[in-house]
Structure 1
Amino acid sequence: MRHFLTLKDFSKEEILEIIDIGLEIKKNLKSKIYKQELKNQTLGMIFEKSSTRTRVSFEVGMFQLGGHALFLSNRDIHLGRGEPVKDTARVISSMCDMVMIRTYEHSKIEEFAAYSKVPVINGLTDSYHPVQLLADYMTLVEHKAEKNIVAAYVGDGNNMTHSWMMLAAKLGFELRIATPKGYEVDEKILQVALGFAKESGAVIKTMNDPAEAVLGASVVTTDTWVSMGQEDEKEERIKTFKGFMVDDGMMSLAQDGAKFLHCLPAYRGLEVSEGVFEKHSEIIFNEAENRLHAQKGLMVWLDKQRNL
């Protein structure tokens, strides 16, 4: 049995296999071919952090695979408050076939997985957002932009940045990360990624100059400057991140035809300009849709692993 907590636990071949399954499922869906690989199975969905895309994509995805998704909000369950996480894991995993968790501390999902009898999927933690990177890479494959990737991440050194580092390290492409001083990536996670990069030939660079990161990039990406739980820091962050907006001027430094990705929600006028967002809206919303297909590929793959 396997869990999906971070990409660091997966080989290049496994990541690509999950993507391929997702692409095949998407192709079948567009052709009105429905294969219910997870018929009669139940996905428990624990949301301590709310999300539009995560709930819709997992719930619809499980339905399309022939199963059922059970939604538990932070009003229904509080991991580690009252009942220990390990007890919650034992109970829920005895009734569900798979569990997806979207929470704050990464340690919570690690503890849950340690005591779970079924596969656990990280829907997002403060440290990682691996399901989003499956969708991002699937999107690059569909747009024939997965060869010789030079990716530039501009913005906060957050869970998205950490997951981009792991994807680059595993698949062996170049990633440049530009953050304001004081908002760099987690050093421990960076060192883990650099360790994998030595094996794959990936190049991971960190810097404080967004123009340096974007120069010659084939893929440019960013994320909100103010994540959930950081609302009290909003004004200070907006001041600090001035100069890190991905606008037409910044995109002009990238390769001709460079792709722009955004995991959404996007705050136009802050991390991305209205012009850049609308120019690249087709790939951005395909990226959003691919959360559905990539996660279906992941769930089917995880189900197959426990039957090996």
Structure 2
Amino acid sequence: MNFYNYHLINDFSIKKYELFSLNEIKLKKKFFSFFKNKICIINEKQSLRTINTLINSFNYLNIKYTIINNKHNFKKENIKDFSKTLGILYDYVFFRGYNDIILKIIAKFSGLVLINMLSNGYHPIQSINDSFLIKNKIIFFFGDFNSNVFRSMIINLSKLNNFLLIIISPKIYWNYIFLKKIFTKKKIILSEKIIILKKKINIYNDVWFSMGENNFKKKINNLINFQINKKIIKILKIEKIYHCLPSYKKNFFLKLKNLEIEENVFESNFHNFDKQIIEKIFIIKSFFIISENNFFKI
């Protein structure tokens, strides 16, 4: 990938220098564009923050776009035909959906540029931004190791220097094949127990249920001891807590008040969620600036 008319389907396609290029442009926060391409947003998995962040960027740059909110039945529809139709109508598609395989088929047969806004496997826009917010920090990941945003974050953090990544997760979720593919020299620590350090740490958290999961009872039994709560706050020296928003306040099936993070912790001064949202706007704007392959005085 070199940003110019290439898909962004997952985080493996982003090179280290591209990560830094996006962040460098984002930090300058000065943008203008002569963007003339036809853009479509396919919002298969409904979202408040991700899609509205994208729309905010479009409006700022005076970019026209179309939103498709209906859910396509890919079991009945011919996906190749669907992909070619998109390619005829649009130049860019921002797809927030459930299936990585669908994304790959669209990328192959549409002839347009496809940007993954979230899928069952990856969450690149979120991770590109957040990886720079916690760069050079000691990071504790709590919860399901196989979360899409965890996977994306780990890939991008492995490209950055001087960090310590500690994953606190049930052993049944550890993915050794994935880790060996990414970490050849850099060290990563996996543990089922909390590791207490003298230094300040940053916590990264994600929802326990996503992308159509429905086996609530089994997963909660596996993860309930990995919740971010008052006990964690007391035993760890926490600098900031990051969360792939939103946090679910209640599980209506099991009548639990809190899942991955207690509400009082989520709303405490430890959170850095406002910055996550604001900075993601600038990352998306940066993507447009750099993908246009034009020379701007920024």
TM-score by structure 1 length?
0.81
Distance 1:216 1:270, change over 3 A: farther
Aligned length: 282
- 1:208 counterpart letter in structure 2: E
Distance 1:37 1:283, change over 3 A: same
Of residues 126, 129, 132, the one that matches 2:126 is 132
- 2:13 counterpart letter in structure 1: D
DSSP 3-state at the match of 1:46: strand
The CA distance in 1 between the partners of 2:77 and 2:98, in whole Å, is 17
What is the root-mean-square deviation of aligned Cα atoms in Å? Answer: 2.7
Distance 1:57 1:185, change over 3 A: farther
Of residues 116, 128, 149, the one that matches 1:160 is 149
Q: Among the aligned pairs, what percent are the same residue?
A: 23
Distance 1:80 1:4, change over 3 A: farther
Counterpart in the other structure of 2:275: 286
The CA distance in 2 between the partners of 1:251 and 1:168, in whole Å, is 24
Q: Deviations over 1:246-277 (max 9, x none)?
A: 1233234444x522101111135321123322
How far does residue 180 in structure 1 lie from its aligned partner after superposition? Answer: 2.0
1:216-231 pair list within 5 angstroms: 216=199, 218-230=201-213
1:190-205 pair list within 5 angstroms: 190-195=179-184, 198=185, 202-205=186-189
User: Is residue 41 of structure 1 aligned with residue 41 of structure 2?
Assistant: no
Counterpart in the other structure of 1:150: 138
DSSP 3-state at the match of 1:242: helix
Of residues 46, 53, 63, the one that matches 2:59 is 63
Gaps of 5+ in 2: 250-257
Query: Does the aligned pair in 1 maintain the 2:137–2:202 contact within 8 Å?
Result: yes
The CA distance in 2 between the partners of 1:41 and 1:251, in whole Å, is 48
Query: Does the aligned pair in 1 maintain the 2:241–2:271 contact within 8 Å?
Result: no
- 1:71 counterpart letter in structure 2: I
The CA distance in 1 between the partners of 2:198 and 2:46, in whole Å, is 35
TM-score by structure 2 length?
0.84
Query: Does the aligned pair in 2 maintain the 1:151–1:176 contact within 8 Å?
Result: yes
The CA distance in 1 between the partners of 2:27 and 2:273, in whole Å, is 17
Query: Does the aligned pair in 1 maintain the 2:196–2:235 contact within 8 Å?
Result: no
User: Is residue 261 of structure 1 aligned with residue 242 of structure 2?
Assistant: yes
Counterpart in the other structure of 1:301: 290
Of residues 10, 15, 18, the one that matches 1:14 is 18
Counterpart in the other structure of 2:252: none
Distance 1:164 1:252, change over 3 A: farther
The CA distance in 2 between the partners of 1:58 and 1:24, in whole Å, is 19
Counterpart in the other structure of 1:240: 222
How far does residue 177 in structure 1 lie from its aligned partner after superposition? Answer: 1.4
How far does residue 79 in structure 1 lie from its aligned partner after superposition? Answer: 4.4
User: Is residue 111 of structure 1 aligned with residue 105 of structure 2?
Assistant: yes
How far does residue 282 in structure 1 lie from its aligned partner after superposition? Answer: 5.7
User: Is residue 5 of structure 1 aligned with residue 1 of structure 2?
Assistant: no
DSSP 3-state at the match of 2:181: helix
How far does residue 49 in structure 1 lie from its aligned partner after superposition? Answer: 1.4
Query: Does the aligned pair in 1 maintain the 2:127–2:156 contact within 8 Å?
Result: yes
The structure whose residues are more often helix, as a share, is 1
The CA distance in 1 between the partners of 2:262 and 2:209, in whole Å, is 16
DSSP 3-state at the match of 1:153: strand
Distance 1:131 1:81, change over 3 A: farther
Distance 1:181 1:53, change over 3 A: same
Gaps of 5+ in 1: 29-34
- 1:301 counterpart letter in structure 2: I
Distance 1:253 1:93, change over 3 A: farther
Counterpart in the other structure of 2:192: 208
Q: Deviations over 1:35-59 (max 9, x none)?
A: 4415333321122211111221112
DSSP 3-state at the match of 1:13: helix
DSSP 3-state at the match of 1:60: helix
